[in-house]
A and B are shown apart, each in its own frame.
Chain A
Amino acid sequence: MSYHTLEELNKTAKDILEDLGDRISTLKNKERTAIPSQDMPVQDPFLRATNLEEVAIGYTAEQAIVEANRCLQCAKQTCVDHCPVNIAIPSFINHIAKGDFALACEVIKESSLLPAICGRVCPQEKQCQSNCMVGKALKDVDKSVAIGRLERFVADWERNNGIGKVPSVKPATGKKVAVVGSGPAGLVVAADCRREGHQVTVFEAFHKAGGVLRYGIPEFRLPNEIIDHEIENLKAMGVELKTNFVVGRTRKLTDLIDKDGYDAVFVGTGAGLPVFMGLEGENLVGVFSANEYLTRANLMMAYDKEHTDTPIYPSVNVAVLGGGNVAMDAARMAKRLGAENVYVVYRRTENEMPARNEEILHAKEEGIEFRFLQNPKRIVGNEASRVTGMECLRYELGEPDESGRRKPVEIKGSEFILNVDTVIVAIGNGSNPLISQTTANLSVNRRGNIVVDETQATSINKIFAGGDIVLGAATVILAMGEGRRAAASINKMLSEELAS
């Protein structure tokens, strides 16, 4: 794909609008599907591989209007059914098509609290956009209406124009809600419970709020400014934020109720337990979990080598193990921190990669080298215990199994050494046991995830949970959805208490 600047893309959109003129509101479906899908303006790949600024710049107003006019306003809203929080997608898109961005934003906010974030990080091609009729008609999911980009556009438009209102808060009820963890799940609970007039305190282990949005997902994909904006909104609503507070250590979970008088507690502590592969050499100097690598780079600002005190490993050749968003983020961050060669080593093929398509595409454009059908066998080091290479095995796709999927099988004797000084393990996260180990009677399943019922209630009275700590490493939108449901349950419980 050749690179087009924002100006070029905007001009194309303007030309289309001019061409269609007044006819735009009365187009036939065929004409709408014929409107070309609007590309996301991005930073030049050569430049961006050396800076931390956001890669995707965002639609211009003209582009958004053109893209919104591709929507067919279907009667059967399959996109809505495939959005985990059922945003009224055709409705908000219709407002954009008419140029009413403020109303579009209001529609989204009825279902999703953090559209600027979801528009950027949701795996739309597996959710809403995978079931868009335009994409189906054109037999290409990449040609679906760009719902996520439109969502992001209106959220950014609102923020940049400073017209987003701080949600109103009902009169004080005298009830206190504790939220443990400030990731997307916790942030949503804080907002929804505060709106009902309850006093809300968010407890966060780190010195800054935001959860994975802050420490994991890099600036070039989700700028801190956006997270800051959401946190400031919460503070303006009167939510109290206590950072540097590890529930389970600084205070036991149940003590929040027993000693500190909270009437309800929400646990949204995320996944947060790095999984390693158990490879020989995995503890050598130069091997990192993606969590560690990204936390150093993002939260601890190691990318700002001039100012920060937190060091990051000086890498030249980096292997990243895994194929999800975490792996893409780690690989692209390593490149930005100065690595010359970054390899993503993945046992299967591109089709099986769980990462968002956009991230894979961006990674390729930035010169990340993908090594499919390869898997590490061991990591080798020198006498100073530093990584000097990684022995890999090649795989090939075998016969299809019952499900029709062709499983990778190793090719005997295909071992070779990949010349690397750094290995970043990004094969997933388990659930962090800190809370469950320090809380008696809290039910967790075999994988350590907190067990909840359909109201997000845990096995302990007044304690609710949601997000990755319940689902296992999942997505931002699912975490938010669970937070929504938990907040509704908490609000219901507290209002019943108030009524009795």
Chain B
Amino acid sequence: MSQIIEKKQISSDVFLMRLEAPLIAEERQAGQFIILQVDENFGERIPLTIADASTKDGTITIIYQVVGKTTLALSQLEVGQEVEALVGPLGTPTHIHNYGKVVCVGGGIGVAPMHPIAQALKKAGNHVTIITGARNQDLLILQDEMKAIADEFIVCTDDGSVGRKCLVTEPLRELCANEATKPDMVIAIGPPIMMKFCSETTRPFGVFTQVSLNTIMVDGTGMCGGCRVNVGKEVKFVCVDGPEFDGHLVDFDNMIARLSSYKEIERTRYKCFVEKTINQKEAAL
């Protein structure tokens, strides 16, 4: 059981929650995640990255987008209520050291997990360039927080409502192509397709590129293999070997296909739940 200490809506369908979890707050490192369940009996287990933590308050912060039944149910909980099951910190922490020049690319909701990593990379002495991107201005999150960390800050939107009107891969390519700005390491977190294209962008330049994968998970401890991905010639379990991998080795197409394993079922369950919620609201009026 974890009590919700704070809840904030930070864009149209993105929420920030601070949860009571003193042990996780104490142990967690950048790049790690938790698995939570809204309902211990029938709820599914979903992985979410730890965006921030405070050992003083004994809390962790998660940021999530409402994309399915569980995230919708989570967004309906209020401060003071409890999340029934919360387990973590899971995964291997990001390898933080002084690479020199690093570029952090955060797409959409991926900016949230990027935040603690960018912070740690900055602290380790790196020159940090941050590129954030989203479809439009409304979907950009944590801009002030990221700006505060960045030595260089670049914003891209698909529609040009703020920053450059382009995909994140465009400034990334420019940075790689210029000997003076060529990064020593790139880390990209966001939708799978974005991570795939970031990796493709840096590949010809031979720039080491890490990506943080968010696959389907069940246990999060290496027991089920549901989270497996092809990395080079090897099969890796994202929940224990990852979530970060060398983007040039990840088989993104297989990963994207595996992510859609239950698309149909998930879609109907989400629809049913939305309808039920609406009906309940109407009945209450």
Contact = CB atoms under 8 A, between A and B. Distances in A.
Interface in A325-371: none
Contact of A205 (B23, B27, B219, B269): B219
A304 B42 CA distance: 9
Interface stretch (B125-133, B201-209, B225-233): B225-233
B174 to A, nearest CB: 34
Nearest to A250: B23
B254 interface: yes
Nearest to A432: B222
Nearest to A293: B224
Contact of B37 (A207, A289, A432): A207
A220 interface: no
B225 A274 contact: yes
Nearest to B85: A207
Contacts of B184: none
Interface in B258-272: 258, 260-262, 264-266, 269
Nearest to B36: A244
A251 B28 CA distance: 10
Contact of B257 (A285, A292, A296): A285
A276 B222 contact: no
B254 A385 contact: yes
Given A274-B224, A434-B221, A308 B230 contact: no
Contact of A246 (B84, B221, B269): B221
A249 B90 contact: yes
A307 B84 CA distance: 17
A133 B37 CA distance: 53
A291 B239 CA distance: 15
A291 B225 contact: yes
A433 B269 contact: no
B253 interface: yes
B225 A285 contact: no
A296 B87 contact: no
A11 to B, nearest CB: 41
Interface range for B: 35 or more
Nearest to A243: B85
A232 to B, nearest CB: 16
Contacts of B253: 385
A36 interface: no
A245 B220 CA distance: 12
Contact of A283 (B40, B87, B89, B235): B235
Main secondary structure of the interface of B (DSSP, over half): mixed
B37 A272 contact: no
B265 to A, nearest CB: 4
A261 interface: no
Main secondary structure of the interface of A (DSSP, over half): loop
Contact of B85 (A244, A246, A272): A244
A180 to B, nearest CB: 12
B225 A300 contact: no
A53 to B, nearest CB: 19
B224 A292 contact: yes
Contacts of A384: 257
A433 B24 CA distance: 21
Interface in B27-58: 27, 37, 39-45
A392 interface: no
Contacts of A289: 224-226
Given A250-B24, A309-B44, A314-B265, A244 B86 contact: yes
Interface in A183-227: 205-208
Nearest to B227: A292
B69 A309 contact: yes
A309 B85 CA distance: 15
Interface in A282-300: 282-286, 288-289, 291-292, 295-296, 300
A291 B224 contact: yes
Contacts of A386: 257
A488 interface: no
Nearest to B270: A309
Contacts of A398: none
Contacts of A313: 261-262
A471 interface: no
A372 to B, nearest CB: 26
Nearest to B268: A311
A435 to B, nearest CB: 10
Contact of A208 (B40, B44, B223, B269): B40
A418 interface: no
B88 interface: yes
Contacts of B264: 314
A442 B40 CA distance: 33
A301 interface: yes
A296 B235 CA distance: 21
Interface string A376-404: 00000000111000000000000000000
A385 B218 CA distance: 21
Nearest to A275: B225
B10 interface: no
A465 B229 CA distance: 32
Contacts of B86: 244
A292 B40 contact: no
Contact of A292 (B89, B90, B221, B225): B225
Interface string B181-198: 000000000000000000
Contacts of B41: 301
Nearest to B239: A434
Given A207-B37, A276-B225, A249 B70 contact: no
B240 interface: yes
B223 A291 contact: yes
A274 B257 CA distance: 21
Contacts of A433: 222, 240
Interface in A260-281: 272-274, 276
A250 B257 contact: no
A311 to B, nearest CB: 4
A249 B27 contact: yes
A292 B23 CA distance: 28
B254 to A, nearest CB: 6
A272 B24 contact: no
18 contacts: A207-B37, A207-B84, A207-B87, A246-B87, A246-B221, A250-B24, A251-B27, A274-B224, A274-B225, A283-B228, A283-B230, A285-B261, A292-B218, A295-B224, A300-B44, A307-B42, A432-B221, A433-B222
Interface of A: 205-208, 243-246, 249-251, 272-274, 276, 282-286, 288-289, 291-292, 295-296, 300-301, 304, 307-311, 313-314, 384-386, 432-434
Given A273-B222, A289-B226, A434-B221, 8 more contacts: A249-B90, A274-B223, A283-B229, A289-B224, A289-B225, A308-B44, A311-B266, A434-B222
Interface of B: 23-24, 27, 37, 39-45, 69-70, 84-90, 218-226, 228-230, 235, 240, 251, 253-254, 257-258, 260-262, 264-266, 269
